[in-house]
């Protein structure tokens, strides 16, 4: 069962959504809003349009939270995770509220929706690749996220159907090359990390060779990351490690792209993580158009 069978907005604490919305609004309008004088506070309706065909909708809770802070309402035409298109322009939602408030929230709300939908769309495309190949492992994101925007980007991964990987440095121990060099050895680094993280956190070790992977697994690592391996080297190393340590998870990472992903799929690889899920990912083009008031013709009656 994919995550789209659930209401993923329930993973987002309401107070966190409110806090983020307030921060985004304060960043965009820290003082006066001179343009607000031009439009006033009369009630208007604005239509949210998606102009990137065949995109996945993601980020509804963040979009709605921004306008909720401004006493506006949002009526959605599509569910989270819906495929928009194939029409060139798809009406996605209607926002109603005071004119100046809708325009205050327009840019922060669109930024969230465009970024989240772009990431979800890429994740969905990656999932289609692995499904067609019959691979049953996990495609995963990374911590290569935009500072201050990680919650949105990790949430978008969920909507797109891939694993978020660890949320932050506190969520799981990952010992990379710099940790190994600073501590002296893989074995020492794993031993030191386990002494503080205990049984409740997994330990992953970045390895540049099969031998390093074997040392990490022997030291007690839960996950061995084979980093920057060429596909054939990866398949051979993963198979040997799985034969020696069947319960250890094998992750492949480093330089994997949507185009090269099929080359890394292997029954001996459990996880493939891609930084391109968030780095260099295209956004989805949304716009918000305030509707012009309907002008009723004046009918003159003769006396």
Instruction: Tell me which residues are annotated as active site.
Output: 144
d(CA 57, CA 9): 13
Distances in whole angstroms, Cα of residue 120 to Cα of each of 23, 180, 216: 24, 34, 33
CA atoms within 13 A on the CB side of 200: 4
Residue located via tokens 């569910």: 79
**Helix or strand run (H / E) with residue 107:** helix 99-133
Place of tokens 């084979």: 226
Give the residue from 65, 60, 120, 69 showing the smallest Cα distance to 93: 60
Residues 169/150, Cβ–Cβ less than 8 Å: no
192 Cα distance to chain centroid: 32
- DSSP H helices, 136-230, are 150-160, 177-183, 186-197, 210-219
Residue ranges of E strands in the chain: 43-50, 55-56, 73-76, 83-84, 90-98, 138-140, 173-175, 203-207, 223-227, 249-253, 271-273, 286-290
> Cα–Cα distance between 139 and 95 in angstroms, integer?
35
CA distance 250 to 225: 6
């Amino acid at each position: 069962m994919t995550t789209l069978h659930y209401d993923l907005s329930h993973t987002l604490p309401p107070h966190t959504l409110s806090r983020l919305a307030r921060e985004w609004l304060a960043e965009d309008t820290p003082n006066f809003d001179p343009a607000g004088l031009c439009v006033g506070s009369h009630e208007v309706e604005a239509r949210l349009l998606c102009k990137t065909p065949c995109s996945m909708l993601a980020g509804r809770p963040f979009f709605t939270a921004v306008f909720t802070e401004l006493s506006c309402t949002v009526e959605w035409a599509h569910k989270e995770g819906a495929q928009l298109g194939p029409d060139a322009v798809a009406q996605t939602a209607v926002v109603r509220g005071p004119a100046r408030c809708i325009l205050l929230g327009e840019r922060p709300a669109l930024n969230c929706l465009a970024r989240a939908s772009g990431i979800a769309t890429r994740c969905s495309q990656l999932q289609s690749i692995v499904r067609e190949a019959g691979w049953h492992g996990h495609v995963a994101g990374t911590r290569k996220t935009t500072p201050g925007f990680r919650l949105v980007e990790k949430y978008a991964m969920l909507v797109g159907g891939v694993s978020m990987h660890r949320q932050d440095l506190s969520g799981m121990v990952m010992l990379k090359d710099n940790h190994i060099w600073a501590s002296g050895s893989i074995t020492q680094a794993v031993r030191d990390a386990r002494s503080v993280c205990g049984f409740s956190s997994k330990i992953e070790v970045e390895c540049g060779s099969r031998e390093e992977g074997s040392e990490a697994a022997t030291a007690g690592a839960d996950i061995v990351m084979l980093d920057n391996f060429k596909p054939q080297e990866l398949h051979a190393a993963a198979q040997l490690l799985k034969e020696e340590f069947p319960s250890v998870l094998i992750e492949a990472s480093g330089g994997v792209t949507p185009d090269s992903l099929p080359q890394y799929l292997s029954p001996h690889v459990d996880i493939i993580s891609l930084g391109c899920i968030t780095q260099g990912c295209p956004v989805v083009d949304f716009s918000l158009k305030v509707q012009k008031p309907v002008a009723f013709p004046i009918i003159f009656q003769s006396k």
